[in-house]
Structure 1
């Protein structure tokens, strides 16, 4: 069953739902986003009855906005409790602290942040909204100067959002240890027996040690084979504690130089937000993560990557780091952007006046030619922006 909500659903996901006749809940928001009447629409009343009678049947949401529907209809259910543990970063840390007893964290109200002195802190650390999305309000603090600068920026005026409170809530923040190591994003699900099935592993590349942007995520056969077994074992530990079955998720972790895996966060009931990472797999690589989840299938990576062994597939997130406010922007030159990549697979524009992004790009790169990825990683995108006169 699909729970669809704003802000975005891709044509690829709509086609997947249609071709496989997957049931989709006829909420007001879903009907506004998807106008195709031929889909397998089911009423909200029937959806509620179905879920009550089939508590561990597969449910997928394209957007965390839709999680409020589950909260409203199943607030005391095991599913709702599982979701809430993942969505609240403090609750998640509390849940896994037996696995990571030395990891330090604390919850703090937004209005109390200005009163914290450097003497009360242990550097380096990360501060971010307890309920967050898209790296909004995330700061890596290495020293006292970083902290003073961050406090100037962390205020309600700078943290206004188009997202509802169950997706991004800046009322509370979490201060936690900074995790050293390489960062990875994982699309996966717990199957009908509860075991983890990994559907993608993406290396989240940063331009510096203090970079918190979501600009570049890359996957390849090499990346998947290098980390798959350890990540399966790690995610199974967390899933077993929560009795997760037929449960899709998107995890972000760091792996240090000794191979230790420490979670950053786990996003429930979806893969990468805005139909990104699962669409990358389907459109660029050629296997459909949505179908694998609903059909309880395991990927055969040798078959999937046959003839693509030397290819790197990347998701480029076009966040507006130009320093130019959106109401001064007339247009974004997506064609020029595509021309700067050797093999662009898909350019997906968004309206910068509605969303905090210019859009997304899927690219295929030979592993020997990664310069274009590092170029876009450090770009302020100004060369593609056309200003209003």
Structure 2
């Protein structure tokens, strides 16, 4: 079953549901987002009945907003407990403590942040909402000066967002040691037997050591094959602790120079937010990750990347880091943006006054072409903005 909710669902995902006659739960939010009576809609009561009678029924949600529906309609069950253990970063760290016994973390309220003494903190460290999304409220702290600056931003009135509390709750934060290494985002699922099936591995690029943005993610046949076995082995360890089966997820990890994998977070019941990473290889190569999960199949990477072995496929998140208020922006020059990419397969345009981003770029490039990605990674996007 598909559980669709705000803020956004892509045409690619809707078309996947339509073409395969997948069941989609007829919530008020889903009906508002998808105006199509020909989909295989099922009423909420029927969906709840299916979940109770067949707990292993595959469920995919495009948005963490929908997790509250599961809590309200199927709370107290194993699925709700699994979701809670992954979504809450403090609970997640406690869950995997046996795997990382020396890893430092602590829970702190937003009020107590300003009472903490720097002598009690292990520089460098990361502070972020215990229940978070979209890198909102995330700060990398290397020294006392960073800590002073971060505390100036960590106030409730500065952390307002369009997301509900079950997606982003800034009342409680987690402080944890900084994880060194290259960062990767992974779309995957646990199959009928609980085994991990990787659907993508994306290298998360940063402009500096303190950058926490979600601007650029890239994948390729080489990236997937290089890390596939080690990542599957690691994620199986985590999944076994929770008994995950028929369970889609999106993990963020770091891999250090010695190949050690340390998780940043694991997001339940979805792939990358805003139908980004889940759509990427479908939009660019025709591989449908949603269908692969729903049918409990494993991807054949040789076939998927046939003829494109030397290509890189990227997502660019067009967040508004321009310093210009959304209300003062009259338009965004998407055509000029497209001209700056070797092969912009798709540009999804969004209303910056309605969403926290201008949209997303799905791009294909040759493996050695890093310039366009590095340029947009550090860009404030002002060259594309009309005020």
Q: TM-score range by the shorter chain?
A: over 0.9
* Matched-pair contact (CA < 8 Å) for 2:319–2:359: yes
Return the offset for 1:310. Answer: 0.5
Give the equivalent residue in structure 2 for 1:156.
156
Give the equivalent residue in structure 2 for 1:48.
48
Give the equivalent residue in structure 2 for 1:121.
121
* Separation in structure 2 between the aligned mates of residue 200 and residue 10 of structure 1, nearest angstrom: 18
Return the offset for 1:298. Answer: 0.5
Deviations 1:261-285 (A, max 9, x none): 0000000000000000011110112
Aligned to 1:283, what secondary structure does the other structure show? Answer: helix
* Separation in structure 2 between the aligned mates of residue 138 and residue 26 of structure 1, nearest angstrom: 34
Give the equivalent residue in structure 1 for 2:322.
322
Return the offset for 1:215. Answer: 0.4
* Matched-pair contact (CA < 8 Å) for 1:250–1:270: yes
* Matched-pair contact (CA < 8 Å) for 1:285–1:313: no
Deviations 1:94-142 (A, max 9, x none): 0000000010000000011111111111100000000000000000000
> Do structure 1's residue 132 and structure 2's residue 132 form an aligned pair?
yes
Task: Give unpaired runs (5+ residues) of structure 2.
Answer: none
* Matched-pair contact (CA < 8 Å) for 1:204–1:216: yes
Return the offset for 1:320. Answer: 0.8
* Separation in structure 2 between the aligned mates of residue 306 and residue 169 of structure 1, nearest angstrom: 43
* Matched-pair contact (CA < 8 Å) for 1:199–1:299: yes
Give the equivalent residue in structure 2 for 1:371.
371
Return the offset for 1:6. Answer: 0.4
Return the offset for 1:301. Answer: 0.5
> Do structure 1's residue 304 and structure 2's residue 304 form an aligned pair?
yes
Give the equivalent residue in structure 2 for 1:87.
87
> Do structure 1's residue 261 and structure 2's residue 261 form an aligned pair?
yes
Give the equivalent residue in structure 2 for 1:313.
313
Give the equivalent residue in structure 2 for 1:211.
211
* Matched-pair contact (CA < 8 Å) for 2:26–2:42: yes
* Matched-pair contact (CA < 8 Å) for 2:292–2:299: yes
Aligned to 1:236, what secondary structure does the other structure show? Answer: helix
Corresponding residue pairs, total? 387
> Do structure 1's residue 58 and structure 2's residue 20 form an aligned pair?
no
* Separation in structure 2 between the aligned mates of residue 116 and residue 133 of structure 1, nearest angstrom: 24
Mapping of 1:1-389 within 5 angstroms?
1-387=1-387
* Matched-pair contact (CA < 8 Å) for 2:50–2:57: no
Return the offset for 1:7. Answer: 0.4
Return the offset for 1:147. Answer: 0.2
**Structure 1: which 4+ aligned runs deviate by more than 6 Å?**
none
Return the offset for 1:354. Answer: 1.3
**TM-score under structure 1 normalisation?**
0.99
* Separation in structure 2 between the aligned mates of residue 46 and residue 351 of structure 1, nearest angstrom: 35
Aligned to 1:157, what secondary structure does the other structure show? Answer: helix
**TM-score under structure 2 normalisation?**
0.99
Task: Give unpaired runs (5+ residues) of structure 1.
Answer: none
